[in-house]
Structure 1
Amino acid sequence: MIGHRNFIARVIARPRTWGLIVFLCAAALLATLIVRAQSSASVVRADPDAILADPQLRSAALAAGKSVFVQYCAGCHGVTGKGDKTLGAPDLTDDDHLYGTGTVAQIEDIARYGIRAGNKHGWNLAVMPAYAQKIPDAAEPLPPQTPAQIEGLTQFLLNFTGRATDQAAVARGRDAYTTAGCWDCHGRDLAGDIAIGAPALTDDIWLYGGSPDDIRRTLTRGRAGVSPAFAHTLTAAQLRSVAVYVAALAPNRQDRK
């Protein structure tokens, strides 16, 4: 009889025990959500370019930003942020930037408004002309280039990294660089222009690859890569956090303001 009573007591007590466990789990989950919400709010309120220098804000932003990056950005830039030259998606782990200098605020604007994404607040300049076409650029009256001129431009660019194979073509390319209007975006010194997204042409960093064939393809057919505008997709907290995460991928960024 005593054993029977103990069994009944255990049966009666079990729902109470499970109820207590469920309650504690729910309370813990709610507490976690509250802490996350508070952290997100703190990240949004903070100076974006001071977040990486604040251990608490940095930790919260990086944790949230990584999941956003994996879901929305890794498809083009790769899970590690190394980019994809077949897509023209830049490597985010170096310290070379097309637009601005890689601050959190600048990256956040790119994520929000995009590049050539149809958003009026985004970056829509620096489209690479297709010089083999009769009309290389619909927006600018640029002269088309002959195959010989395109080869000259190719050799001219290869010469900066010691890979040119035809010095006569290099000389032609130097002239073509001026007459084709390349300097207007890339500069007289070929250093590029971070205000419009024109890359430097004297280093060995390439969006679409730097082989002779890659360069010829760029000059011949043009380039106009797109980075999506996430203004209507991501929340303010997600935009800020993913910008912090991307900024942290590059070296020595935590000290930059």
Structure 2
Amino acid sequence: MTAHVGEPHQQGLAQRLNWLRAGVLGANDGIVSVAAVVVGVAGATSEIAPILTAGVAALVGGAISMALGEYVSVSSQSDSERALIAKEKRELREMPDEELDELTGLYEAKGLTPETARQVAIELTAHDAVAAHLSAELNIDENDVVSAWHAAIASAAAFTLGALLPMLAILLPPAGVRVPVTFVAVLVALALTGGISAWIGGSSKIRAIVRVVLGGALALIATYIVGSLLGASGVV
């Protein structure tokens, strides 16, 4: 039987959507955090060197932090999944009859009659016992265990791409319009990332856009005020 056109029957679709959402959120973090830093420094001084230095430091530090956080998180998840896969393989070797009974019970719990559940369990076990048990018991696909290195690199890349926008917005325009241009560019970009995140998750685009734009605007206003106060006080 063929899949209906346009329906998401592809294996790993949920994981690809999660990766896409993580990339959008990583870019969003890069936009907001680096924009807040450079706008704060721009509030204290119009000199380009301090703004550039702070922006580059925020970009590099943020990208590394994102990569490390993602690496640790995904490593823990993938280690747990690999341990569960190894345990399931061992149980299938050592107690195949008990595992067949367990799989039958799982399909009975999903609404199949005992006879049908037994037949399904037998046929799936004959086809690929490990895959059948991982799917029914743990909702794991042995071929979909995420690489921690791939996740770390993707997270750092997304953050960096997002961070480049406020860097260019604050550095390229003349001194008198740097901050307004950065505000506009950042809020437009946040509206786009908020809309994309909502589209991926199937939630309200308007609510997501308003939420992320308001949050970004508050961050920019707060850091600009702090920078302006520090600059006016002569502390920096």
Larger Rg: 1
More helix by share: 2
**Higher RCO, 1 vs 2 (CA within 8 Å, ≥6 residues apart):** 2
Same fold (TM over 0.5): no
Q: Give the TM-score taking structure 2 as reference length.
A: 0.32
